[in-house]
Amino acid sequence: MKLKKIIACLLCAGMLSSCANNTTETTTTAAETTPAITTQPENTNTAISGEIRDISSMELISELTAGWNLGNTLDATGGSGLSSETSWGNPETTKEMMDTVKAAGFNIIRIPTTWARHLDDENNIDPEWMDRVQEIVDFTIDENTYVIINLHHEEWNNTFIEKKDATVEKMKKVWSQIAERFKDYDEHLIFEGQNEPRKKGTDLEWSGGDEECWEFVNATNMAFVETVRNSGGNNAKRHLMIPGYCATSDPIGPKMIQLPENDDKIIVSVHAYTPYSFALSDTPSSKFSSKRKNATRDIDSLAEMLETSYINNNIAVIIGETGARNKDNLESRVDWAGYYTARMRKSGITCIWWDNGSVKGNGENFGLLDRRTCTWHFPEVRDAFIKGAKGEIDIENLTADNAA
């Protein structure tokens, strides 16, 4: 995957898990035609069914601490039918995995989900796939744990203006089905309209976009919001996440994203692997020390920009994907994880670690949880990330201004 260095946002995809196991990668095949969605089964999870609290998204994120992504799993695009879940090398998701994540101290779990391979010619979602998504949501969510589901590696929402009308209609059709299935869930379930919509395969892909890009993303975001809001049940009060172009953390994002009027249950979705040279680049090894002059500059600037553009205007922000690649630099990653989340918490921003299950070898090694043994590869990184998110790390004496 070739990325532009000028921004720190990423479509984290396609890396196989390097953990030893007997599972082989499933060969990609053509998507099968599937029947129309069936009747919604009864929601028996009493912890998250029933009345939804009428609170703003700013109030909601004050309850959120550290987050974790079930990456390269339901968002995988290989295989067909239910086999796509394991087609990128990660094992089938279990309740034990999710219980392990929650027991570690994470209280929000993002479940990236790709629907494109599970749609028929009329954009009806395969009932088996919908049931599987709901099953994972149900054994993840509870009264203390929040869950995000989204549209992830969809190829049909690329931001080419001539596709706008068709994409808007497809967005409405897909989200109307998801919204119907989950309409009785309370505020512990958050919908994220799309992941990183962008002009794939062009010079604009990671550049921040242009007028056509912004128009397209705003139109599809609004289609998502309007569809959910009009879908009944608790969805009129559901918290909804929307990204700017490619979920960029570049300052251009706040200038171009359109937010619904008179809706205090909207969260801006941002992806930020910052500083790029440390957290995301292919540099063989890199170091980070929060006590070194200028080391935290990019993190501080990002927090200040998000705070000024959104938080100070009562607009909630979640950094839905972040992390630092394993480059055999454990001490630096621990320091980075603690500082990053502590700094964002200071600005009222929630962070979610991108865990794709990959730990070693070439590629984007963001894995923390060994999903086959339900143990942690780097508990020190995990703990620092959570402590910072809970406000348990004092960064006042770690800032560059105080550095020797």
The residues that are catalytic are 196, 321
Lookup: tokens for 62: 């004050």
SS3 375: strand
Give the CA-trace dihedral at 16, 18, 24, 25, to 10 degrees. 0
CA-CA distance, 19 to 86, in Å (whole number)?
13
Rounded to an integer, what distance in angstroms lies between the CA atom of residue 192 and that of residue 304? 24
Report how far Cα 392 is from the mean position of its chain's Cα atoms. 24
d(CA 399, CA 378): 25
Q: How far apart are CA 399 and CA 316, in angstroms?
A: 25
Instruction: Pick the closest to residue 155 from 163, 146, 145 (CA basis).
Output: 163
Rounded to 5°, angle at Cα 275 from 271 and 281? 85
In 133-289, the DSSP E strands lie at 146-150, 189-192, 240-243, 266-271
Question: Contact 404/355 with Cβ under 8 angstroms?
Answer: no
